[in-house]
Amino acid sequence: MIPNGGVADPLLRVEDIHTHYGKSHILHGVSLDVGRGEVVGLLGRNGVGKSTTLKAIAGIVHPSAGRVVYEGRQITNMPPHRLARLGIGYVPEDRRIFPVLTVTENLRTGLDRHGVTAARKRELLDKIYSYFPVLAERRNQFGGTLSGGEQQMLAIARAMMLEPKIILLDEPTEGLMPRMVSQIREIIDVLHRDRVAVLLVEQNVPLTLDAGQRIYIIEKGVVRHHAPAAELRADDAPIHRYMGV
């Protein structure tokens, strides 16, 4: 099945993946593309398979059928740590920062990679701390002691330490105060400016329509609709139809 949207030479192409959880069939053939430096939104109600799609891309869940192609190369059954090294950053739904590591140590899990000089590490750390001054303040605190919003910042910052080409964001604004939500919005802009692609899974429709360039809508494990964000901003009928909001 030809992926929806057909971006020429995509950074990431998901081709017709199916996943199972025990006997449950979760994804029934999801296909999508993400171009270099693009911000792509993935909308859908609870339980339709949005998170599972990200997990399949990140290598945390292995598809039972279909392929995931990254930079022209098949990555479908590669282990997550190789994918991270190839430049796929993953920010999971419940943040999952390391609770008994300090903020700095959390960042170091992504920073301490092969081939990164000490100078570059300093540079990256300083850059991140400038984007997230709150984290700079708490750099020696254990991750588990941070507030929900701070943990979300840390989770994203940590993924950025990988210097990824694409970041998979799973519902980053869930449970956050409006002020934090706009901070997340700004970070997505920063990533876009830095030419990092973003695949954003969200239930917050306005945010996604605002930040994204193209939008996929998933329902019951399949992509039902796909359009440029501008088009959906003008006519949001498909959103009502497939998300029931």
Partner 1 sequence: MQWLHAIPWDLLLIQTINGIVAGMILALVASGLTLIFGIMDVVNFAHGEFLMLGAYIAVLTIVATHSFWLALIVASLGTALIGALVYVTTLRPLLGRDPLTTILATFGVSLVLQNYALWQFGPVARKIPEPFAGSITLFHLDYSWYRLTIAGLSAAIIGGFWLFLKFGTWGIWIRATTQDRIMAQAMGIPVPWVLAGVFAIGSAMAGASGVLFGPLVGVDHAMGFDWILRAFIVVVVGGMGSLGGSVLAAIFISLLEAYATLWVSPAQAGIVSFVVLILTLLFRPTGLFVATPK
Element (H, E) at 240: helix 237-243
Q: How far is the CB of 100 from partner 1 (least distance, A)?
A: 6
Of 105 and 219, CB closest to partner 1:
105
Q: How far is the CB of 60 from partner 1 (least distance, A)?
A: 6
Q: Buried (b) or exposed (e) across 69-97, using 16+ Cβ within 10 A? A: bbbeeebbebeeeebbebbbbbbbbebeb
Token pair for 154: 């840390």
Residue 172 binds partner 1, judged by CB under 8 A: no
Q: How far is the CB of 97 from partner 1 (least distance, A)?
A: 8
Q: How far is the CB of 90 from partner 1 (least distance, A)?
A: 5
Picking from 184, 178, 22, the residue whose alpha carbon sits closest to that of residue 95 is 184
Of 75-104, binders to partner 1 (CB under 8 A) are 79-81, 84-85, 90, 92, 96-101
List 18, 36, 37, 60, residue binding partner 1 (CB under 8 A)? 60
Q: How far is the CB of 135 from partner 1 (least distance, A)?
A: 16
Of 45 and 98, CB closest to partner 1:
98
Of 3 and 92, CB closest to partner 1:
92
Picking from 150, 151, 170, 167, the residue whose alpha carbon sits closest to that of residue 159 is 167
Q: What is the largest CA-CA distance in the chain?
A: 52
Contacts with 85 (C-beta within 8 Å, 6 or more apart), sequence order: 113, 114, 162
Of 19-58, binders to partner 1 (CB under 8 A) are 58
Number of residues that bind partner 1 (CB under 8 A): 25
Q: How far is the CB of 104 from partner 1 (least distance, A)?
A: 10
Q: Do residues 82 and 73 lie in contact, with contact meaning Cβ atoms separated by under 8 Å?
A: no
Amino acid at 122: R
Stretch touching partner 1 by CB under 8 A, among 110-118, 127-135, 200-208, 236-244: 110-118
Token pair for 86: 């190839």
CA 48, CA 193: separation in Å to the nearest integer?
A: 31
For partner 1, the binding residues (CB under 8 A) are: 58-60, 79-81, 84-85, 90, 92, 96-101, 105, 108-110, 112-113, 158-159, 162
